[in-house]
């Protein structure tokens, strides 16, 4: 009798422990995985292509532009802020094997910070060039200031309501991230860069 009871309890535990996550649970796992830099959580919940290579290429382009200026601390500070977002799931719409989830992201206004920093940088270039400072020194000081500005961001005042899409195959997975989602997660950074490039 005891063996049957024990077998029943183990079976029940395995069945309840192995249930398929809902779309909301999958998205929550993905976003928490990003926040914690937990590759396993992200891998288990994300169905899109990993874009690490693209990010590395973007960083290489930025490093080329900066001509040897050390950006190690800048990258560390920026990553800390990008991963320190809050999120609220507002609504879920299901249709067959697809889900569309409305989420509000709250984070630091990196877009505004970049815009303000660039304006300050351009003004400094004019002033310091007349004082005889070398271009490398100007860039070095500018990166130091940007790193410091990012490190001292304290208020999460950028809020954006966006949609994540998920697809169910053997389990729910978050689809490839749209530019709208990437913009929200970076505090409006992509939008600012696009505007500045126009």
> Is 32 a domain residue?
no
The predicted pLDDT at position 177 comes to 92
> Is 191 a domain residue?
yes
Q: Phi then psi for 155, rounded to 5 degrees?
A: -105, 130
The predicted pLDDT at position 90 comes to 98
Helix axes 72-82, 110-130, angle to 10 degrees: 160
Angle at 187 between CA 106 and CA 152, to 5 degrees: 90
Domain of 82?
47-197
Sign of CA dihedral 150, 151, 154, 159: positive
The predicted pLDDT at position 59 comes to 46
Specify the DSSP class assigned to residue 188: S
> Is 190 a domain residue?
yes
> Is 33 a domain residue?
no
The predicted pLDDT at position 67 comes to 57
Distance between CA atoms of residues 42 and 51, nearest Å: 12
Angle at 108 between CA 103 and CA 111, to 5 degrees: 100
Per the structure, the count of domains in the chain is 1
Distance between CA atoms of residues 37 and 44, nearest Å: 13
Mean pLDDT by groups of 10 residues along the chain of 198 residues? 52 51 95 90 82 49 56 86 95 96 97 87 68 72 88 95 95 94 92 81
> Is 182 a domain residue?
yes
The predicted pLDDT at position 131 comes to 64
> Is 122 a domain residue?
yes
> Is 6 a domain residue?
no
The predicted pLDDT at position 197 comes to 76
Q: 33 CB contacts (<8 Å, ≥6 apart)?
A: 39, 40, 41, 42, 44, 45
> Is 9 a domain residue?
no
């Amino acid at each position: 009798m005891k063996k049957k009871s024990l077998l029943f309890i183990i079976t029940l535990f395995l069945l309840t422990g192995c249930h398929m996550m809902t779309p909301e649970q999958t998205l929550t796992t993905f976003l928490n995985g990003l926040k914690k830099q937990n590759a396993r959580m992200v891998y288990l919940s994300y169905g899109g292509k990993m874009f690490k290579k693209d990010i590395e290429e973007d960083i290489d382009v930025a490093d080329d532009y900066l001509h040897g200026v050390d950006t190690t601390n800048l990258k560390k500070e920026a990553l800390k802020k990008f991963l320190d977002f809050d999120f609220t799931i507002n609504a879920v719409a299901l249709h067959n094997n697809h889900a569309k989830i409305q989420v509000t992201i709250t984070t630091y206004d990196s877009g505004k910070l970049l815009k303000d920093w660039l304006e300050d940088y351009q003004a400094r270039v004019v002033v310091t060039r007349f004082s005889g400072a070398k271009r490398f020194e100007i860039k070095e000081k500018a990166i130091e200031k940007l790193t410091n500005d990012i490190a001292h961001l304290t208020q999460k005042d950028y809020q954006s309501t966006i949609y994540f899409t998920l697809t169910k195959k053997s389990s729910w997975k978050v689809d490839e991230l749209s530019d709208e989602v990437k913009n929200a997660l970076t505090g409006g950074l992509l939008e600012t860069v696009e505007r500045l490039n126009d």
